[in-house]
Amino acid sequence: MTETLFLRSKELSGLATPSEYVSAVREGYRQQGSAAPRTKLVADDNAGMLTGYLAILPETGAMGGYTYAAGFGDEDVHFFLPLFDADSGRPLALLDGASLNPFKTGATGAVGVDALARQDARTLGLIGSGAQARGQLRATMTVRPFETVTVYSPTAESREAFADAMNDRYDATVRPVATSEAAVEGSDVVITATNATEPVFDGDRLEPGTHVTAMGQYDPNVREIDATTVERATYVPDLRARATSDAGAFLQAMDERGLTEADIHGDLGQVLAEEVPGRTTETEITVFDSGGTGIETVAAAYMLYEKAIEHDLGEYIDIAPGSAALTGE
């Protein structure tokens, strides 16, 4: 039997700071390693989806992935995250991935902002007011000292409650606005964190020098940003292979504007490894398309695993190796 650490979501909650998540995710993408776009299976009645993705981080020495089911009968989502040693292949841990989800996703957005936004960015426009929007703001505030944040979501009560809560948490002035255009106008950085199926703002409204992070969609048929935004921008996905598999914004820009794979500037790992440049001018519009990969998941999970060991958290369960389990005895 192989002892494997089981870590509950409540044990992982608050175990790491937003900055620690950002550092772990940045290092994971810098390594690049091996990763594949997510696999998504949709139920016949479209009532739910089963999703998973994998990655190997060779320098960290960890590999694993994420599997989750969402939207089925209980109308909820459940995350499983197995983590393995990349040298021996032995299982290290099994994590309940719920509490880390908005932190690792927010950290990825923050790494994209840090790599592509202007250094003097001080105004942030946020479209969305749910858990992922909070995660994006929480992490992004660690890489740029934003002074003003405008937030839009379709429900006035939601955006107002978000602004009230975030004003109490940050030094920045956070205020709700009545339209997505108002969130985009005058913003150095725009983040979309929605479940929208159509673009949430007009790309013609982007001002020179703006950085956009789109993180809410990973389906060829849906998108948060329009073809104009993609066409005007230096386009950087989290994973190059994902841009032509499930990045709806880029795939639809290919259909509508004739963009090709040559219009992918490079993925986030290539930017961080300095294989391609990030922002090169103050007036350049940049886009980071963050649909999610196993890289950020494994990087965050291994960081939490090491912290859990340090704090003596979790409990060990036995996992049978195949050599023993397949004997039939």
Helix (H, G, I), strand (E, B) or coil at 308: helix
The pLDDT, as a whole number, for residue 327 is 63
Give me the DSSP letters along 144-206: S--SEEEEE-SSHHHHHHHHHHHHHH-SSEEEE-SSHHHHHTT-SEEEE----SS-SS-GGGP
Higher pLDDT, 29 or 45: 29
pLDDT band at 324 (very low <50, low <70, confident <90, very high): confident
pLDDT in tens, 1-14: 789 999 999 999 99
Pick the CATH number of 116-289 from 3.40.50.720, 2.120.10.30, 3.30.420.10, 3.30.470.10: 3.40.50.720
Q: Tell me the average pLDDT across 148-176.
A: 96
Is 234's pLDDT higher than 90? yes
The pLDDT, as a whole number, for residue 1 is 74
Q: Which residues contact 325 (CB under 8 A, 6 or more apart)?
A: none
Is 259's pLDDT higher than 80? yes
pLDDT in tens, 45-103: 778 889 999 999 999 999 999 999 998 888 899 999 999 999 999 999 999 999 999 99
In the chain, domain spans: 2-101+294-325, 116-289
Distance, C-alpha 188 to centroid of its chain:
20
What is the rounded distance in angstroms from the CA atom of residue 314 to the CA atom of residue 86? 21
What is the rounded distance in angstroms from the CA atom of residue 124 to the CA atom of residue 140? 10
What is the rounded distance in angstroms from the CA atom of residue 277 to the CA atom of residue 270? 8
The pLDDT, as a whole number, for residue 237 is 97
Q: Is the dihedral of CA 128, 130, 134, 140 positive or negative?
A: negative
Q: Tell me the average pLDDT across 150-172.
A: 96
Q: Tell me the average pLDDT across 186-207.
A: 96
Give me the DSSP letters along 220-277: TT--SS-HHHHHHSEEEESSHHHHTTT-HHHHHHHHHH---GGGB---HHHHHTTSS-
Q: Tell me the average pLDDT across 170-193.
A: 97
Output the average pLDDT for the chain: 94
pLDDT band at 219 (very low <50, low <70, confident <90, very high): confident
What percent of the chain stands above pLDDT 70? 98
What is the rounded distance in angstroms from the CA atom of residue 165 to the CA atom of residue 163? 5
Q: What is the pTM of this model?
A: 0.94
Q: Which residues contact 122 (CB under 8 A, 6 or more apart)?
A: 144, 145, 146, 147, 148, 188
Is 276's pLDDT higher than 90? yes
What is the rounded distance in angstroms from the CA atom of residue 275 to the CA atom of residue 267? 10
Pick the CATH number of 2-101+294-325 from 2.130.10.10, 3.30.1780.10, 3.40.50.300, 3.90.1150.10: 3.30.1780.10
Q: Tell me the average pLDDT across 240-263.
A: 95
Find the distance separating the first CA and the last CA of the chain, reported in whole Å.
14
Q: Which of 17-21, 195-199, 281-285 has the lowest mean pLDDT?
A: 195-199
CB contact at 8 A, 103 and 300: yes
pLDDT band at 241 (very low <50, low <70, confident <90, very high): very high
Cα distances (Å, whole numbers) of residue 215 to 107, 110, 223, 232, 312 = 11, 11, 10, 18, 34
